[in-house]
Structure 1
Amino acid sequence: MGLDLSALKGRRVLLTGDTGFKGSWLALWLKELGAEVTGIALAPEHADGHYRSAGLESLYPHIDHDIRDGEGLAALVAEARPEVVFHLAAQALVRRSYDDPKTTFDTNVGGSVNVLEAIRRTPSVRAAVYITSDKCYRNKEWVWGYRESDELGGHDPYSASKAAAELVVSSYADSFFARRDGFGIASVRAGNVIGGGDWAQDRIVPDCMRALRDKRPIVLRNPDATRPWQHVLEPLGGYLTLACRLLDEPKRFPGGWNFGPHVASACSVGELVERIVAAWGSGEIRIERDPNAPHECNLLHLNTDKAALELGWHPRWAIDQTVRRTVEWYAATLGGADPRETSLAQIRAYMEAP
C-alpha cells in the first residue's frame, strides 16, 4: 500500500533547516507533493551537499537566517503565513558540540524557543512538527528500544541540548497551545539517517563516500558502536504522516513520536561500512581506534510501537535496501546523473513501497 500524503497538497509549509541534509530531502518531497514551501536556514555549509546539488535554491523561496535571531525569525514566519511548520534547524553534530557547546545550546534550545514563539504569534499555523533526536533519551546502553515515555537526558552537549529542547516544546504545548483551537504540535525523534547527498564532516556515510571516491582506505575509529540506521526517507515519511494527522485531528496526536528502523536494521558501524563497500564493489577498511575521542554512546535503539499503532507508520526499507539506495545515489550522481531527478526517483519508489 502506497503512502498517502495528499493532505499536504497546496498547503503553505515552512521548514527551518531546509539547507541541511534531512531538510533538503524534506523540502524536495514536499514540492513533489504539491506543497507551497518556504525555507529558513543558514546558508548551505557544503557546496556539494544535497540542497545545492539538487538545485533546490531555484525550486522554492528560501531565506538565509539564523534562528537565534528571534525577532527577525518571527517577522519572516509572519510574512510566510504557513499552515504547517517543520522545525529541523539545529547544530546536529556530537563532536562539534564538544568544541562549541554554547552555540549548540543557543541554537538547539534558544533557537527552538524562538521558533515556538514565532508559531505562537502566527495564527495561520495549524500543525507543527518539531524535530529533535533519538539522542534525547538518557542512554543506559540497554538492548531494547527506548519508548517515548522513557527518561530524557544527555551526556554530550548535543544530546543534552536535544533533551532540553523536548522539555521546551512540552512546556509550550501545555502552557500555550493546548487551548489553541485547530492547532496541533508534536515532537519527533529518529535514528541515524543515511542517504544520498550528505557530505558533512564526522558522519560515517560521507566519510565512506569520500574515501571510496578518492580510492583511499575508510578509517574507522569506533567500529563497534551500534546505531538504528535508516534511510533519510524513513523518518521524513513519519514526519509527513504525522503532519497530515495533526491537520486532520490536531488534538489527537500530541507529544513525542519515535521513527526508527526495524530492529534487524540496527548494526554496528563496522558492519554498516562492510555493506557499503560491498554495494560499491571495492574498498579498504582500516581500524584506527582513538583513545582520546570524545564520549559517544555505543548502543541505541528506538521502539516505534506508538507510531505503528496510532499512525499506521512502519519502516519500508530494511538495511540492505537502505544501503543499496544510498550507494546507488552517490554512484549515479558521481557518474553524471542529475541529483534532483535521482532523489525524486527514490522518493517515488519509497512512496510506492509496501
Structure 2
Amino acid sequence: MTPDPSFWRGRRVLLTGHTGFKGAWAALWLRRMGADVCGLSLAPEGSPNLYDLLNPQTSADWCDLRNPQSVTACVQRAMPEIVLHMAAQSVVRRGYAAPVETFSTNVQGTVNLLEALRETEGVKAVMVITSDKVYRNDGKGRAFQEEDPLGGKDPYSASKACAEHVTSAYAASFLEPKGVRVASARGGNVIGGGDFTVDRILPDIWRATSAGTPLQMRSPRSVRPWQHVLDCLAGYFVFTEQLVSNDEAPRHINIGPDIEDTLEVLPLAETFISAYGKTVPIEIDTSPQPPEAPMLRIDPRLAATSLGWRGRIDARNAARLAAEWYAGYDAGVAAQDLCIEQIESYANGELG
C-alpha cells in the first residue's frame, strides 16, 4: 500500500526534524501530495545537506525542542491538524559522545512538543517516530515484536525507549481523552540518496570515494534491518492515515523490511560500491569502539495485517537505488530532480 494523496491534500501538517535526511525527503513527498507542511527544526547541519539541496518551499520555524517556550510558540503558529515528530539526535555513536544532548533532545524535546500540543486545538493525530533500537536487545537475533520489552544499553537507544514511554503517558493522560489520536512508529535502519550524516555507512562510502581514501569499516558482520527511505516514509504516512480514519488502528507499529531480509554491513557496502561504479578500498577498523549490538531485527508483520503495508524494496535494491542517487548527484543532476524521480516511481509502483 502506498500513501493516499487525497488524504494529505490541503491538510496542515507539522513536521519536526524537516531539515534532516529523512525529514527532507518527507517534506518533499508531503508537499507533492498537496499537504500544507510547516517545519519545526534546528537549522540543517553540515554541507552539503539534503534540506538545502532541495531548495525547500516549506514554511519553517527554526526551533530547539529543548526550549519549551520556543516549541509552544512554534506549535501555536503552525496550528497543525497532523503532527509527524521526526526531530531527534539520531546517531548511536554521537549518543555516546554527547549523552546529555541526546537525552535532552529525544526525551525532554518530546515532552516539550506533546505538552505544547495538549494546549492546541484542532490536532487530530500525532505520530511520534522512534527507532528499531527501542527494544531490550538480548543479542539472540530474534526479530522484535511491538509488545516486546523496551530497553536500550546506549544513550541513543535508551532515549528513544524513554520517548516511547513519554508518548504513551501523554496519550493516555492528556491527548487521547480530548480526541487526539497518538501513536509511535519504529522504523528500521534507513538508507537512501541524499544522506550526508557522519558515521553512517553509505555516506561514509561516498565521502571516502570523494576524498580518495579507504573506507574505515567498524563492524562488517553486523546485521541491521536496512530499509529504503521511501519504504519507511510510506509506512509512516499509511500508518498516520489509518490512525486518523480507523478507531482500531494500533498505537505502536514496526515499520521495517521483510523479516527474512537480513544483510550484513559488508555485503551492503559492496552492493552499493558496485552500483555506484567507483572503487574504494575497505579497511576494517580494529580500534576500540563504543559497543553496538551485532544483530538487530524487527518484525513488521503487524503493519501488514493492520495497515496493509509491506516494504517493497529489499536491502540490496535499496543500496542500488541509493548508489544511483549519489552517482546522479556527482554528475550534476539536481538533488530535487533525483528525489522527485524516485518518489514518483515509488508512488506509481515502479520500485520494488
1:117-128 correspondence to structure 2 within 5 Å: 117-128=115-126
1:71 Cα deviation after fit: 1.6
Partner of 2:262: 266
Q: Distance in 1 between matches of 2:348 and 2:259?
A: 22
Structure 1 counterpart of 2:249, one-letter code = F
User: What is the identity, as a one-letter code, of the residue corresponding to 2:296?
Assistant: L
Whether the 8 Å CA contact 1:217–1:283 is kept in 2: the answer is: no
Picking from 307, 332, 344, the partner of 2:303 is 307
Cα pair 1:126 1:247 within 8 Å, conserved: yes
The amino acid of 1:331's aligned partner reads A
Correspondence 1:255 to 2:251: yes
How far apart, in 2, do the equivalents of 1:109 and 1:63 lie?
Answer: 20
Q: What is the aligned counterpart of 1:196 among 193, 196, 205?
A: 193
**Corresponding residue number in structure 2 for 1:343:** 339
Q: Provide Cα deviations, 1:21-44, integer angstroms capped at 9, x if missing partner.
A: 111110001001000000010000
Structure 1 equivalent of residue 28 of structure 2: 28
Structure 1: which 5+ residue stretches go unaligned? none
Q: Could you say which residue in structure 1 is the equivalent of 2:209?
A: 212
* One-letter code aligned to 1:246: L
- Structure 2 Cα separation of the partners of residues 261 and 254 of structure 1: 19
Query: What is the CA-CA distance between 1:217 and the residue it aligns to?
Result: 2.0
Instruction: Report 1:140-219 matches (<5 A).
Output: 140-181=138-179, 183-219=180-216
**Normalised by the size of structure 1, how large is the TM-score?**
0.96
Aligned match for 1:98, one of 96, 99, 104: 96
C-alpha distance in structure 2 between counterparts of 1:226 and 1:108, whole Å: 25
SS of equivalent to 2:178 = coil
Q: SS in structure 1 opposite 2:149?
A: coil
Counterpart in 2 of 1:4? 4
How far is the alpha carbon of 1:119 from its aligned partner? 1.2
CA distance in 1, matches of 2:272, 2:142: 26
- The TM-score normalised by the length of structure 2 is 0.96
Q: Find the counterpart in structure 1 of residue 226 from structure 2.
A: 229
Q: What residue in structure 2 maps to residue 52 of structure 1?
A: 52
Structure-2 residue corresponding to 1:240: 237
Q: What is the Cα deviation at residue 252 of structure 1?
A: 2.3
User: Size of the alignment, in residue pairs?
Assistant: 350
Corresponding letter in the other structure for 1:206:
P
How many angstroms does 1:271 deviate by? 1.0
- Decide whether the 8 Å contact of 1:141 with 1:298 is kept in 2: yes
Q: Indicate the SS of the match to 2:73.
A: helix
SS in 1 for 2:83: strand
Offset, 1:247: 2.0
Q: Does residue 278 of structure 2 align to residue 282 of structure 1?
A: yes
CA RMSD of aligned residues (A): 1.4
* Secondary structure of 2:107 counterpart: helix
* Counterpart code for 2:113: V
Q: Which runs of 5+ in 2 are unaligned?
A: none
SS of the equivalent of 1:230 reads strand
The one-character-per-residue Cα deviations of 1:259-302 (angstroms, maximum 9, x if unpaired) are 00123432111111110111122313323333410010110011
Opposite residue 304 of structure 1, the aligned amino acid is P
Cα deviation, 1:197-236, whole Å, max 9, x if unaligned, reads 1111111110011112333222212111111111111111
Within 5 Å, which residues of 2 pair with 1:77-96? 77-96=75-94
Distance 1:261 1:65, change over 3 A: same
Inter-CA distance 209–349: structure 2 relative to 1 (3 Å threshold): same
Contact 2:111 2:166 in 1 (8 A): yes
Amino acid at match of 2:330: L
Q: Which residue does the alignment assign to 2:63?
A: 65
Tell me the SS of whatever aligns to 1:299.
coil
Distance, in Å, in 2 between the alignment partners of 1:285 and 1:133 is: 31
- Quote the Cα distance in structure 2 between the aligned partners of 1:186 and 1:152: 16
In structure 2, what is the Cα distance between the partners aligned to 1:172 and 1:13?
20
- After TM superposition, the runs of 4+ consecutive aligned structure 1 residues lying more than 4 A away are none
> Counterparts of 1:119 and 1:197 in 2: how far apart (Å)?
31
Residues 93, 158 of structure 1: alpha-carbon distance in 2 compared, 3 angstrom cutoff: same
Check the 8 A contact 2:17/2:85 in 1, yes or no: yes
Measured against aligned partners, the alpha-carbon deviations of 1:293-334 in whole angstroms (never above 9, x if no partner) come to 001011001101110000000001122321111011111011
Deviations 1:36-91 (A, max 9, x none): 000010000022111111111xx111111101111221121111111000001111
Alignment partner of 1:135 is 2:133: yes
Amino acid at match of 1:314: R
Distance 1:3 1:62 in 2: 24
**Contact 2:250–2:306 (Cα < 8 Å) also in 1:** no
The answer to whether the 8 Å contact 1:230/1:265 transfers is no
Instruction: Give me the whole-angstrom Cα distance separating, in 2, the residues matched to 1:26 and 1:11.
Output: 15
Does structure 2 retain, via aligned residues, the 8 Å contact 1:85–1:127? yes
